Amino acid sequence: MKLRTIAFTNLRRRKARLAFLLAGLLIGIATVVTMLSLSTAMTAEVQHQMENFGANILITPKTDELSLSYGGITLGGVSVDPREIPEADLARIETIPNRRNIAAVAPKVLGAVEVKGERVMLMGVAADREFHLKRWWSVEGRPLVERNELVAGSSVARRLGLKPGDTVEIEDFPFVLTGILRETSSQDDDLLIASLPTAQILLDKPGLVSLVEVAALCGDCPVEEMVAQIAAVLPEARVGAIQQVVKSRMHAIEQFQVFAFGVAVVVILIGALVVFVTMMGSVNERTREIGIFRALGFRRAHVARLILIEAATVSLLAGILGYFVGMLATGLLLPVLAEAHAHLVWDARLAGGSVLLAVLVGTLASLYPALHASRLDPTTALRTL
C-alpha cells in the first residue's frame, strides 16, 4: 500500500463525489475543446476557401476609364485598349519571394465580338487553370478543351438561343459550343469563353492579356506583401488584392475566437470553483480520517499529497474524457455552424493541452484544500482524544 493506493481506493469507493468532481471539470474542458476545435475547423475552412475558391489578387493594365467593365477593370467597348499586358511578362510573377504561395495564375484577354448580329464580350482563358480556379462555375455540357470550342454564359446563351453542341461563327471561324455556364448572377453570365490563343487572334491582341487573376495560398500569408512584390515585377500593371469577403469572414471567425476564449475562461473558472468547493467539502467531511492519518504518523506533506493525488487523478480523467466529449460536441455542431467543407481536426496539441489544462486547473484548485487538510490539528480532527 502506498499513498496513491489510499487515494485511488477512496475515489473508487466514493463514486458519487468522483462523478461530481469529474463532471465539474469535464464540462469545462469539453467546452474549451469544443470552442477551440470549432474555431480551428472554421479557420481551416476559410483557408480552404481562400486556397481553392478563386483568386485573391487581380492584375490589370494601367488604363483610363472606359465603357465596358469586367472584374473591376474597364474596357473600351469594341475598341482595343493600347495598354494590354504582354503575356510573356507574366513569367516574372514566378520570380517573387512569395512564389510558393501562388496556387494559380489565370490570364485572360477580353474584347467585344459580333455573333449572330449581336455584340457580346469574348473572354479568352487558359481553360484548365480558369475552370480550376472558378470551382463555383457549373457547366451544362462540358468545359472547353480545344481551340475551336466555346462555353457561353447563361444570359448570352439565352439571348442568342444557344445550346450545347451548337456551332457558332465568330469572325467567320466556326466554333463548337461545348457547354453553357449555369447562372452565376455575375458578369460571367454575359461572356463567351474561348481559349486564350484563339481569343487573342479573334481580338487581334496577339501575345497580350487584358487581366490576370492570381490565386494565392493565403490562410495567413501576407497578401498585401505579395501584391507589392507582383507590382514590383510588373511595374506597368496595376495590382490589387480582392479579399474583402475573406477578410470579413476571417474577422467573423476572429470575433468567434475571442468569444470562444471568453466562454472557455469562464467555464474553466466555474470548473475550478466546483473542484475547489468539492475538495474543500471532502476535506471537511474527512477531518476524522485525516486525524487518524496524522496520529498514525503521516506527515503534513503526506496528507497534502494524498489530497493532490486524488485531485490530479480526477483531473487527468476529466481531461481525457473532456477532450473526447468536446470533439464529439464539435462533430455535432460543425455541420450547423460551418459549411460542408469543414471537418474535425484531430490535433495532438489540443489533446495534450486539454489534459494538461485539466490537471493544472484541478490541482491548483485543490491546493488550498490540500494545505487546509495538512494543517488540521490531529487532536481536533480525532475529537475522541
Partner 1 sequence: MAFIEINGLSKHYPSRAGVVAALDGIDLTIDEGSFLGVMGPSGSGKSTFLSLIGGLCHPTAGTIRVDGIDIFRLPAEQLADFRREYLGFVFQSFNLVPYLTALENVMLPLAVKKLATAEKRERAYQVLERVGLKARAGHLPGELSGGEQERVAIARALVNRPPLILADEPTGSLDTATAASIMELFAELNREGQTIVMVTHNPETRGNFHRTLLLRDGRVAGESLATAA
Which residues form the interface with partner 1 (CB under 8 A)? 1-3, 5-6, 9-10, 13-14, 288-289, 291-302, 377-379, 382, 384-385
Q: What is the H or E stretch that residue 326 is in? A: helix 300-337
CB of 384 to partner 1, least distance (A): 5
CB of 300 to partner 1, least distance (A): 6
Q: What is the H or E stretch that residue 61 is in? A: strand 57-61
CB of 9 to partner 1, least distance (A): 6
CB of 294 to partner 1, least distance (A): 7
Residue with cell 473542484: 275
Cβ neighbors of 267 (< 8 A, separation 6 or more) are 27, 28, 31, 32
CB of 24 to partner 1, least distance (A): 21
- Pairing label, strands 68-70, 191-195: unpaired
Shorter beta-carbon distance to partner 1: residue 9 or 67 = 9
> What sign has the CA pseudo-torsion 324, 326, 328, 331?
negative
At CB < 8 A and 24+ separation, what contacts does 332-340 make? 333/34, 333/38, 334/38, 334/41, 337/38, 337/42, 338/38, 338/41, 338/42, 338/45, 339/45
CA–CA separation, 108 and 60 (whole Å): 10
CB of 32 to partner 1, least distance (A): 32
Residue ranges of alpha helices (H) inside 134-243 are 154-160, 196-202, 223-233
3-state secondary structure of 149: strand
**8 A C-beta contact, residue 208 and residue 85:** yes
Shorter beta-carbon distance to partner 1: residue 5 or 69 = 5
Shorter beta-carbon distance to partner 1: residue 144 or 314 = 314
Shorter beta-carbon distance to partner 1: residue 5 or 167 = 5
**8 A C-beta contact, residue 304 and residue 374:** yes
Q: Between 300-337 and 3-13, two packed helices, what is the crossing angle to 10 degrees?
A: 50
**8 A C-beta contact, residue 212 and residue 106:** yes
Shorter beta-carbon distance to partner 1: residue 185 or 384 = 384
CB of 311 to partner 1, least distance (A): 17
Shorter beta-carbon distance to partner 1: residue 9 or 248 = 9
CB of 25 to partner 1, least distance (A): 22
Q: From residue 258, how far is each of 35, 252, 353 by CA, in Å? A: 10, 10, 18
CA–CA separation, 204 and 198 (whole Å): 10
CB of 379 to partner 1, least distance (A): 5
Shorter beta-carbon distance to partner 1: residue 291 or 362 = 291
